[in-house]
Chains A and B, each alone.
Chain A
Amino acid sequence: MRTILAALALTTALTLPGIAMARPVTLTTTLKNYGGDGAYLAIYVTDPKGAYAGTLWMAGGKSKYYEHLTDWYRATRGNIAEINGITGASVGAGRKLEITLDLADALFDAGYTLHVDAAVEDMRDSPNEVAVPLTAAGAGQTVKGRRYVASFGYAM
């Protein structure tokens, strides 16, 4: 019995820090009724120096259109490996996209910024449609986008 308890305590102690290093975060993007086709959205993060750190989500599956997500494309050169496993369909006008992912704790309150680039067929490209700092205090707040995004926010 004692051995089992000791083993349980040990595995719990080993598991807990791993769980604590990440937290589920829901990113919510609501699009305006801009009267066009589905929007391509690249949601990505830059580090405190403004350098590209990685992509969190890509809405839109045709790689030939990625160059219209201008800032994201410039940072990644359209590298598909950056978005394997985190790509979904484009988002229709007036629709709400909710993505829940396990984000590393180290990203919060450390100078990282969350960006959204947007592009719509036959309409203007909108790089840096949204840019918000990743902070614990910023969770639950929403911001407006420049052209296609009615509101964007993240919740923990």
Chain B
Amino acid sequence: MKKTFAILFATTALTVGVGLPAWSAIHDGPRPQASREAVGDASDDGATLLFASDDGRRDRDHGRRFGRGDDDDDHDDDDDDDDDDDDYGYRGGAAGPAPAGTVTPPNNGLFGSGAAPKVKVN
């Protein structure tokens, strides 16, 4: 009897130990797809969906503004903007886009040639 209980206990423990992670993996996979389908179905019905993600932050942005209070990305201790000139964000060629004339425009199908745009500000 003791032996039977021991075997039963062992198999139960083994099942829980191996089965739970596997069950979780199986049920985690399809969830995003299912959500997407649900979203698609609801959209088809013309329903308005409100997402609980941080996108809502952008959806409420009608009164948003940028300024010196924006995130200071330079990771130093001060709170100021260390790059006040409009130099295209170039800090040794770091994160900013390449200014017009320095590289060819992107190949996005909109431009008929690789010619640099001509710009005039009055």
Contact = CB atoms under 8 A, between A and B. Distances in A.
Interface of A: 21-23, 38, 40, 45, 53-58, 60-65, 67-68, 70, 74, 80-92, 95-105, 107, 119-125, 127
Given A65-B70, A85-B101, A102-B112, 12 more contacts: A22-B112, A45-B110, A56-B117, A57-B117, A61-B86, A62-B86, A64-B70, A80-B95, A84-B98, A88-B119, A99-B118, A101-B118
A103 to B, nearest CB: 6
A30 to B, nearest CB: 9
A70 B110 contact: no
Given A80-B97, A98-B119, A102-B112, A89 B86 contact: yes
Interface stretch (B6-14, B34-42, B44-52, B59-67): B59-67
Nearest to A105: B112
B80 interface: no
B4 interface: no
Given A61-B87, A89-B86, A103 B65 contact: no
Given A45-B110, A98-B122, A125 B89 contact: no
Contacts of A100: 117-119
B109 A90 contact: no
A152 B101 CA distance: 24
Chain B interface, >50% SS class: loop
Interface in B64-122: 64-68, 70-71, 73, 83, 86-90, 95-106, 108-113, 115-122
Interface residues of B, number: 44
B115 A85 contact: no
B103 A85 contact: yes
Contacts, number: 155
Given A65-B70, A95-B121, A96-B121, A104 B96 contact: no
Contacts of A62: 83, 86, 88-89, 96
Contacts of B68: 121-122
Contacts of A89: 86, 88, 121
Contact of B64 (A68, A85, A86, A91): A68
B110 A53 contact: yes
Nearest to A23: B112
Contacts of B105: 84-86, 101
Nearest to A84: B98
Given A100-B118, A105-B112, A121 B67 contact: yes
B102 to A, nearest CB: 7
